[in-house]
Amino acid sequence: MEELTHQGKMTELENRIIVELSKKVVDNIARKYERIRKGVEGIMGGKVIETEAKKMYNRGISEGILLGEENGRSEGIIGAIGILKDLNMSESEIKKQIIKKFSLSEDAAAKYLKECSK
């Protein structure tokens, strides 16, 4: 499977999923044997183990959500600056307003204003 991953025929995530699920299958087969089953239950604590692939997937989702929120916030700030400019508000007043409304630092507000001046 590693060769398939290196060749690009399988993703790292797919590889990890197959490996993790294979381990679960072996664990479930071993449950038929009392001593092995008790050992596995002791390790698992009776809980379902989340696969590493699932953890990677969930981390990716969380990072994607955070990135989306950051991008949305930036678009909102830029949109607010545009509206305030259309209302002929001075740059110093716009800066004060976005600092207050979006809890920005002076530097961050200045960067947004500079970006909107392009």
Give the span between the Cα atoms of 73 and 8, in whole angstroms. 36
Residue 51, CA distances (Å) to 19, 44, 62, 113 in order: 9, 13, 17, 45
Q: What is the pLDDT of residue 83?
A: 96
Q: Is 112 exposed, middle or buried (0-12, 13-18, 19+ CB in 10 A)?
A: buried
Q: Does pLDDT of 114 surpass 90?
A: yes
pLDDT digits (tens, 9 = 90+) for 71-88: 999 999 999 999 999 999
- List C-alpha distances in Å: 34 to 27, 28, 29, 41, 46: 12, 12, 11, 10, 15
DSSP state of 47: S
Query: Within the chain, how many helices (H) and strands (E) appear?
Result: 6, 0
Rounded mean pLDDT of 23-49? 62
